[in-house]
Structure 1
Amino acid sequence: MAKKENIIASVLAFEKKLVPSDGYFYGTNWNNRAEQTALKLIPKSVRGTISNRLKPAVAGDPMKLNAEVEKANLQTVDACALGEHQDTLKVGFTLKVLGGVENPSACNNETFLKSYHAVAQKYIENYGFTELAKRYALNIANARFLWRNRVGAEKIDVVVTVNDQEAVTFNAFDYPLHGFDHADGQVQNLANQIASALKGELPYLLIKVEAYALVGKGQEVYPSEELVLDKGKGEKSKILYQVNDVAAMHSQKLGNALRTIDTWYPEFDEKKTAIAIEPYGAVTNLGKAYRTPKDKKDFFTLFDKYALGEALENAEQEHYVMAVLVRGGVFGQSSKD
């Protein structure tokens, strides 16, 4: 009998099933949202102070420290802010939900494909993506996708339009960021439609999302920051994202927020914080992987068992595995191992 490690396809890929657009930034007023203007980036040239950690020899010598502090820290940076008479940020994007998780976009092993397809069909029959869909819906309702723009906002309304249906408005602060047990009728209705699309029962699901955050007149807002790999002697030390002169947020950043539903990783009881669905539970700003092969809680360890028909410990592990497949990616096993 062939070893299980040789049954896993060496070419295996899944297309993502939650497909957000970029998020566009507009300025408006809470009590008059009809008037909206696209927000543009504002270049600023500033003279900063030396604030980085210095070498002990410099920090311990007052003369050297004074000499270092006297140096001008000149910077040109991008910024973005509401207009003088605007108090509300609007962020708008669309989210397309696709079905077909049971069918990889690429797979070169027919035996594995048949086994995985049967397992995926069984998951759909047993759970119907209802748990995952509820969590995605809650992350739309709670405006997690606003990231830093959510902090300090006085009020946040999230207006959701599904296909051509009537728009529904959520008060973002009614829904917690790290708990997924509370789902009222509006959230459940949205979740049901997302689940139907993931199961393939709906041929088309497009969700239009518009978030309005009351942050204060003229306040700074925060589009995505561009990662510039080779800054060299570039003009700016911070470059923000824009599309056709409109400040914007990366679709990848929106997608990361929507899939921040993993409360099943080993340390959740201690952290009480949901993390994004990732194969190794990676949280880059903490420099930590919460799902390691050593603990056998990572995606690949669980997927290799699950896809070949072995039972996992509980439903939570099944939800996690399927959520990674909804995320999409390349998961083949190298034939050189």
Structure 2
Amino acid sequence: MAKSSTKGLATVLSFEKKIVLSDGLMYGTTWENRQTQATALPLHEKSVRGTISNRLKSAVANDPAKLNAEVEKPNLQTVDAASLTMEQDTLKVTFTMKVLPDAAVPAACNVENHKEEILKMGKRYAEQYGFGELAKRYALNLANGRFLWRNRVGAEDLEVQVKAGNTQWLFHSYDYSLKDFDHVDEKVEALSEQIESALDGKLPYLLLEVTAFAKIGKGQEVYPSEELILDKGKGKKSKVLYEVNGTAAMHSQKLGNAIRTIDTWYNEYKTGNGVGPISVEPYGAVTNLGKAFRNPKEKCDFYTLFDKYSLGADFDSPEAAHYVMAVLIRGGVFGASGKE
């Protein structure tokens, strides 16, 4: 076996994700006929002549002649876009979500003793707390339609249907908050019980079919995922959207980020200075804010907690235990550096 770090941690350590999502396909329909009629939404190109609106250097901004010369320049752009037709007022998004057990079983681990302690940690978590709290939060993020992201904003009505085998639940998304996980009804409880059964191994797996409807208005623009173009100099478009076989779509990663937006256990949230639930990440990173809410200096990041618990220490609190297990469900590569 490879040499481990002096702390007894594995240098090769990874966990497979236990919540696996498909891409989300986007369709257009009407609210009245949403159950029976829907057409795939294609992408279309738009070429527009915009204005110069970026922040200018002081020498240009403070000189009227230079400013006029600058704003006269055309800002030509070719972008992808997607929208409903003028006969459609409702966006339909559909995807599948698979839930798997054995969150605390490493996919790869090069230190046998550490692996044994990790397995003990997982068993300790299941016995002390169980997966009920995590399952409830995942279920609520399905029910409230958080995964629609910008497509959720300004919708007149929101509805999410979740199907597992012959069982189906219907959620009116505005009945469930995006800010906390306090409100649970019988439907959320039933769905969370299914998710919990899969996470703790009572079921070999759970496959959910999720369909969301957002009544956003006739002809309104919808928002698929945007592709990351590493070398924009070679492309003719300034914005490229994601599509699957000609149908506008949302990345599985973006859907997954929303489903795991369950972390209300970080310090700022507890003190009332947080930004609401954040996605489960090793450092509590929220990229659009440019901030990590779980700083290692505060000893609340994943690695600090995981290293302690996976070497035999008791959980400090239910909140810390839930957070660590949620990161393992997320999956990732967590090996310690052999140079430490």
Which interval holds the TM-score relative to the shorter structure?
A: over 0.9
- Map of 1:329 onto structure 2: 332
- Map of 1:87 onto structure 2: 89
Aligned counterparts of 1:166 and 1:110: Cα–Cα separation in 2? 42
- Pair 183,103 (structure 1): closer, same or farther in 2 beyond 3 Å: same
Q: 1:100 aligns with which of 93, 99, 102?
A: 102
Letter in 1 for 2:162: V
- Map of 1:186 onto structure 2: 187
Deviation at 1:311, TM superposition (A): 2.0
Percent of aligned pairs with the same residue? 63
- Map of 2:44 onto structure 1: 42
Residue 251 (1) aligns with residue 229 (2): no
- Map of 1:10 onto structure 2: 11
Aligned counterparts of 1:272 and 1:56: Cα–Cα separation in 2? 34
- Map of 2:205 onto structure 1: 204
How does 1:184-333 map onto structure 2 within 5 Å? 184-268=185-269, 269-333=272-336
- Map of 2:143 onto structure 1: 141
Deviations 1:187-241 (A, max 9, x none): 0111011011011110121000000000000000000011101011421000000
Deviation at 1:257, TM superposition (A): 0.1
Aligned counterparts of 1:161 and 1:38: Cα–Cα separation in 2? 21
Q: Would the aligned equivalents of 2:5 and 2:337 in 1 still touch at CA under 8 Å?
A: no
Deviation at 1:326, TM superposition (A): 0.3
Provide the secondary structure at the position in 2 that maps to 1:43. Answer: strand
Q: Would the aligned equivalents of 2:5 and 2:339 in 1 still touch at CA under 8 Å?
A: no
Deviation at 1:5, TM superposition (A): 4.8
- Map of 2:63 onto structure 1: 61
Larger CA deviation: 19-28 vs 197-206: 197-206
Provide the secondary structure at the position in 1 that maps to 2:69. Answer: helix
Deviation at 1:181, TM superposition (A): 1.3
- Map of 1:165 onto structure 2: 166
Aligned counterparts of 1:165 and 1:179: Cα–Cα separation in 2? 30
- Pair 74,244 (structure 1): closer, same or farther in 2 beyond 3 Å: same
- Map of 1:110 onto structure 2: 112
Letter in 1 for 2:33: N
Aligned counterparts of 1:57 and 1:233: Cα–Cα separation in 2? 31
Aligned counterparts of 1:320 and 1:107: Cα–Cα separation in 2? 21
Deviation at 1:100, TM superposition (A): 1.0
Deviation at 1:95, TM superposition (A): 0.1
User: After TM superposition, which residue ranges in structure 1, 4 or more long, deviate above 3 angstroms?
Assistant: none
Q: Would the aligned equivalents of 2:132 and 2:192 in 1 still touch at CA under 8 Å?
A: yes
Deviation at 1:166, TM superposition (A): 3.0
Aligned counterparts of 1:307 and 1:333: Cα–Cα separation in 2? 13
Provide the secondary structure at the position in 2 that maps to 1:209. Answer: strand
Q: 1:77 aligns with which of 76, 79, 90?
A: 79
Deviations 1:258-287 (A, max 9, x none): 000000011112125110000000000000
CA RMSD of aligned residues (A): 1.1
Larger CA deviation: 120-129 vs 194-203: 120-129
Q: Would the aligned equivalents of 2:104 and 2:328 in 1 still touch at CA under 8 Å?
A: no
